[in-house]
Amino acid sequence: MPMFNPREALNDVAFMTAGFEIVSSVLDRSEVVCIGDALDGDTIARSRAGARHLMRHPVVDRVARDPRLVAIASRAITASAIPFRATLFDKSADSNWLVAWHQDTALPLRERRDAQGWGPWSVKAGVTYAHAPASALGRIVALRLHIDESRSDNGPLRVLPGTHMRGVLSDAELASLARDVDEVDCVSAVGGVVAMRPLLVHASSKAESSDPRRVLHIEYADSLDMEAGLELAIA
């Protein structure tokens, strides 16, 4: 098997145009099994859909800083990528859920500071959040590491290619794009990664299969310092 080369993982033009790319065989299956076992432990506070704010977990922190992942993220944002937030999505026969078409626009921040284009504000599990402007979200990329195989029948991520270039969208604009743009299922084997822009319109259906679909979603920025004196929180 050829050695994985993260510096050749992303097709820069394709990623810039589509807003996402599927990268196969980033981590070995044995590595991913260990990660999955650690995330199944009793120390993680879970919701129905998984667990949030995992960057303080030692295994997650180590995975997020793995040179293979950092290299992929750094190519996407053309800077040395810094991981700042990690979320586990855990879909199974016992916890089967869907997510409607949306963009990821809320960012965790160290403190609230009123700034033009930021807000509304909220607090989730003790962490301050604000919906961010497109200028800030363009400095971020998410990597979705597949702990289980993601298939068309177990509720994979679905995306509308190219929609990340349209800025922050209204509900009406999201609905219109969902009608007009052909969706793509982001399927991946264990150890594969989906790189995506937060403004890419995406969704997830309920699984039709009883097989689990765990994904570790890690977000990276070119800097923790955002505009207007705001600073990303490590979450």
What are the pLDDT tens digits along the chain (235 aa)? 445 565 557 888 889 999 999 999 999 999 999 999 999 876 777 777 789 999 999 999 999 999 999 999 999 998 899 999 999 999 877 788 789 999 999 999 999 999 999 999 999 999 999 999 999 999 999 999 999 999 999 999 999 999 999 999 999 999 999 999 999 999 999 999 999 999 999 999 888 888 889 999 999 999 999 999 999 999 9
Nearest residue to 66 via CA among 145, 149, 157, 150: 145
This prediction has a pTM of 0.94
Tell me the domains of the chain and their CATH numbers.
6-105+142-220 (2.60.120.620)
Tokens matching residue 77: 């944002």
Residue holding tokens 């990340």?
Answer: 164
Burial class (CB in 10 A: 0-12, 13-18, 19+), 29: exposed
* H or E, element range at 59: helix 58-64
Give the side-chain half-sphere CA count within 13 A for 27. 28
